[in-house]
Chain A
Amino acid sequence: MNEQFTRGDHNITQLLIKWGSGDKAALDELIPLVYDELRKLAASYLRRKSGSNTLQATALVHEAYVRLADQSSISMEHRAQFFGLAAKIMRDILVDNARKRVSAKRGGHQLHLSLAEVDRIGRKPEVELLALDDALKELAETNPKHSCVVELRFFGGLTIDETAQVMELSHATTERYWSFARAWLRREIAA
């Protein structure tokens, strides 16, 4: 691939610093940057894997963040902040998208077809995602750290180690938080 990202982007760091110091508008400028990056990556993945829809999204999301953050101009301190932010942005984008889709479906006049394509029936990821977002909000009220870990792992695509680093927790603690939150959320969504 020729899309080499070799030098830093001062823009992102500056926006991060601005955002960190309470400038809400900076976030509005950051979101399109992250989103853009994701789209570009997705396009290149799709090109490489044309014909198959096994889009390796894990790798994709993670790669996008690493690419954005792994630039010499972003200091270690900002890197951690960045991952936290990226996860938040991702959560916003996904939840927003899911909400739009659900409401679009509700608004749409569903046709009762007696000719139903068998394989089309499946679970609805957008509904599950919204339920998860709600459950995560609930978790954040009593266990903000757990919720943070989930956000970083689930929306941010970070590994346990990376999450531990960002949150300044030990590996063991992070793992404990994760495994409890994961089970708790699973139960909440199922209910």
Chain B
Amino acid sequence: MQQLEELFHEAAGLEPPERAEFMSRLRESNPEMAEAVDSLIAAHEDPDNPIDSLAYEAAAEMIAAKQPALVAGQVVGHYQIVALLGKGGMGEVYLASDTKLDRRVALKLLPAEFTNHKERLRRFIQEAKTASSLNHPNIITIHEIGEADGAPFIATEFIDGQTLKRRRHTKMELPEILDVAIQVAGALQAAHAAGIIHRDIKPENIMMRPDGYVKVLDFGLAKLTEKTSASKTAGSEIDTMLRGHTRPGTILGTVDYMSPEQARGQTVDHRTDVFSLGIVLYQLTTGRAPFAAATDVDKLVSILEKEPPPLDEYAPKIPSEFQRIVSKALRKDREERYQTIKDLLIDLKNLKEELAFAQKLERSNLASGVGPTTRSSPAPQTDQTSIVATAGDQSLGGDRKWRVLLPVLAIVVFAALLIGGVFLWRRPASTPPPIVSAATVQPTVSYWITVQKYRDGKPYQEPFRLSDDINFEKDYRIRLSINSAHSGRLYLLNEGPAGADQTPTYNVMFPTETANKGSALVNENQLIQIPEQSWFQFDEQQGTEKIWLVWSAKEVPEMEAVNGFANSKDRGVISSPGLRTAVNQFLKDHFSAAPSIQRDKEKKETVVRANGEILVHVINLEHH
């Protein structure tokens, strides 16, 4: 090797004519060596040497992608991973199936570094188990805490819902906020009574089921990230931050919901949960964080020193009693705060009752004709609007809403009766009249296909738009454009060949990392183009290419699970048999409610309208 290196340097240092001469001389004396030097020179001059960038690219990609630790199908203990549900500072959460008890569980994988702190891990396990054993309906049930490949995991009941994090930027209506608050406070009260402080109340840790049930997650988990008594002397969170202490895990999550005593690094008691819940309530009401700032340090300063803007600045109709409750929870001095979560809970419950009473009063006023407007019948759908309206100081906005809403409702009800009547008259009496609901929108999605013809490997003619499914030839390139008439969730799956279990494989086409940033959420009239920049290409294989289009106003758990695949790097292929079956079943179930399909030749688009809340449509591309 030494000789090779010498010769390489000698050759590399020469100008081309001299080098050629040098090489030919070398070839004569040592042809093998000459060949080796030749190949090295070629490598040396390769302008695209991966060694110049590979590590950085790999590093960047790795850091940016943050690959999930587990993939579908993998087995952890007696759990089989189905899909990645989410990632947070405290690890990754997967949907898994418990192979022993045949049930779905949520599996949280904690960062491996926690195993280094046995004492902390022990305390966490103890607290988490105690909280779970309280058997409180609003505290998540832990099935097992175990360890797999050195990484601790927690298996809990799987909650089919979403965390409040998804909703923290949109204002909630007061009745719903009160419902959530009362349930969270109830969970905390039970935990506090058992001597357990949550320490990390935030929207991510509050899960809401579609039926309104709330579950508080991650009791005791904050114990893991607490500083040890030795480092406590290091000072407050701010100090550590300013000094750039790389505390492994100290601030793993967000500082947004910290109490002032947490920010200062003081010992906390149950009143820290009161403060954090106060922040959550503020945020749900206004859609913004009370202590917003550009950096973590500024946020902490804000938590310690600044008073948040009054609630009614962003939520003008909020009752003053609710304002008082939130601001009492947000007192910086914990001695001035609600002293127990029970006190907060009582105030919340009282307010809820008052509002319910006011609403009842309003209804009876309306019924006896004392109401602000005249109309035929009270509409139960508008409960929430009316509560907010009456709860507000002057209920002006509410009145206006009523005035607009009621005539509209009256017309709708009349129309419904009319249509119902017509149907009753035209159909045999045994078939029920169709239900016409004013509240639900009819899911409508329009789409078209842009085609680029290709001949001899080159684009041929200008791209054109198609509403219909035509025969595509080999090498045609296509792009799909989809427009959702309402904001909701959109999923696109390309159906592949069936596996051994007769269930097809699916490839997630939307959402993907590059399309809509991995989110299924689309806005009203948002135009989605897939693929965004390039084209899809048909290859040799002939047949019908099926693309499933799913639109739903609400989150579809099966589909959200699919989302995890699209975000990972396995090209969105759903390989997990469990999830494939679930998706297959879902598509079957909803496809039967066939949507109405209308081909608009003029606008060159296909408009699909669902026959229910969920739209499932299949786009068939014939390819021969």
CB closest residue in chain A, given B37: A183
Which of chain B's residues have a CB closer than 8 A to the CB of A38?
59, 63
* Segment among B20-28, B47-55, B415-423 that sits at the interface with chain A: B47-55
The yes or no answer to B540 lying at the interface (CB within 8 A) is: yes
Partner of A94, one of B39, B43, B62, B499: B62
**Total contacting residues, chain A, CB less than 8 A:** 73
In the bound assembly, the distance between CA atoms of A115 and B499 in angstroms comes to 18
A114-B538 CB under 8 A given contacts A2-B295, A2-B297, A120-B571: yes
CB closest residue in chain A, given B573: A111
In the bound assembly, the distance between CA atoms of A119 and B57 in angstroms comes to 18
In the bound assembly, the distance between CA atoms of A61 and B61 in angstroms comes to 12
A115-B56 CB under 8 A given contacts A36-B248, A186-B51: no
The yes or no answer to B132 lying at the interface (CB within 8 A) is: no
Which of chain A's residues have a CB closer than 8 A to the CB of B243?
5-7, 9
In the bound assembly, the distance between CA atoms of A40 and B91 in angstroms comes to 16
In the bound assembly, the distance between CA atoms of A3 and B242 in angstroms comes to 7
Q: Contact between B9 and A114 (Cβ–Cβ < 8 Å)? A: no
Which of chain A's residues have a CB closer than 8 A to the CB of B507?
111, 113
The yes or no answer to B569 lying at the interface (CB within 8 A) is: yes
Which of chain B's residues have a CB closer than 8 A to the CB of A119?
531, 533-534
- Output the least CB separation between B500 and chain A (Å): 10
A42-B1 CB under 8 A given contacts A187-B40, A187-B43: no
Contact residues of A: prevailing secondary structure: helix
Which of chain A's residues have a CB closer than 8 A to the CB of B297?
2
In the bound assembly, the distance between CA atoms of A129 and B244 in angstroms comes to 32
Q: Contact between B12 and A39 (Cβ–Cβ < 8 Å)? A: no
Which of chain A's residues have a CB closer than 8 A to the CB of B575?
108-109
Which of chain A's residues have a CB closer than 8 A to the CB of B298?
2
Partner of B505, one of A29, A58, A111: A111
- Output the least CB separation between B223 and chain A (Å): 18
Partner of B248, one of A32, A61, A179: A32
Residues 102-124 of A contacting B (Cβ, < 8 Å): 104-105, 107-120
Q: Contact between B505 and A179 (Cβ–Cβ < 8 Å)? A: no
The yes or no answer to B552 lying at the interface (CB within 8 A) is: no
Q: Contact between B477 and A29 (Cβ–Cβ < 8 Å)? A: no
Residues 221-267 of B contacting A (Cβ, < 8 Å): 241-246, 248
Partner of B58, one of A58, A60, A125, A180: A125
The yes or no answer to B174 lying at the interface (CB within 8 A) is: no
In the bound assembly, the distance between CA atoms of A46 and B64 in angstroms comes to 8
Q: Contact between A55 and B51 (Cβ–Cβ < 8 Å)? A: no
Contact residues of B: prevailing secondary structure: mixed
Partner of A114, one of B1, B46, B246, B623: B623
Q: Which of B60, B507, B542 has the most CB of A within 10 A?
A: B60
Q: Contact between A114 and B545 (Cβ–Cβ < 8 Å)? A: yes
In the bound assembly, the distance between CA atoms of A4 and B296 in angstroms comes to 12
The yes or no answer to B536 lying at the interface (CB within 8 A) is: yes
In the bound assembly, the distance between CA atoms of A111 and B580 in angstroms comes to 13
Q: Contact between B40 and A114 (Cβ–Cβ < 8 Å)? A: no
A115-B545 CB under 8 A given contacts A28-B116, A94-B58, A120-B571: yes
Q: Contact between B244 and A3 (Cβ–Cβ < 8 Å)? A: yes
- Output the least CB separation between A162 and chain B (Å): 15
Q: Contact between B63 and A33 (Cβ–Cβ < 8 Å)? A: no
The yes or no answer to B496 lying at the interface (CB within 8 A) is: yes
Residues 148-191 of A contacting B (Cβ, < 8 Å): 150, 154-155, 157, 176, 179-180, 182-187, 189-190
Q: Contact between B8 and A183 (Cβ–Cβ < 8 Å)? A: yes
Partner of A57, one of B46, B59, B241: B59
Q: Contact between B64 and A42 (Cβ–Cβ < 8 Å)? A: yes
Which of chain B's residues have a CB closer than 8 A to the CB of A100?
67
Q: Contact between A115 and B5 (Cβ–Cβ < 8 Å)? A: no
In the bound assembly, the distance between CA atoms of A184 and B49 in angstroms comes to 11
Task: Tell me the A residues contacting B by CB distance below 8 Å.
Answer: 1-7, 9, 11-12, 28-29, 32-33, 36-39, 42, 46, 53, 55, 57-58, 60-61, 67-68, 90, 93-94, 97-98, 100-101, 104-105, 107-120, 125-126, 128-129, 132, 142-143, 150, 154-155, 157, 176, 179-180, 182-187, 189-190
The 3 closest A-B pairs by CB, nearest first: A5-B244, A57-B56, A57-B60
Task: Tell me the B residues contacting A by CB distance below 8 Å.
Answer: 1, 5, 8-9, 12, 39-44, 46, 49-64, 67, 71, 73-74, 113, 116, 241-246, 248, 294-298, 477, 494, 496-497, 499, 505, 507, 531, 533-543, 545, 569-571, 573, 575, 621, 623
CB<8 Å pairs between A and B, sample of 23: A1-B295, A2-B298, A3-B295, A9-B243, A32-B248, A37-B246, A42-B64, A61-B55, A107-B74, A109-B499, A109-B505, A109-B575, A111-B573, A112-B496, A114-B542, A114-B545, A115-B538, A154-B54, A154-B55, A176-B5, A180-B40, A186-B49, A187-B39
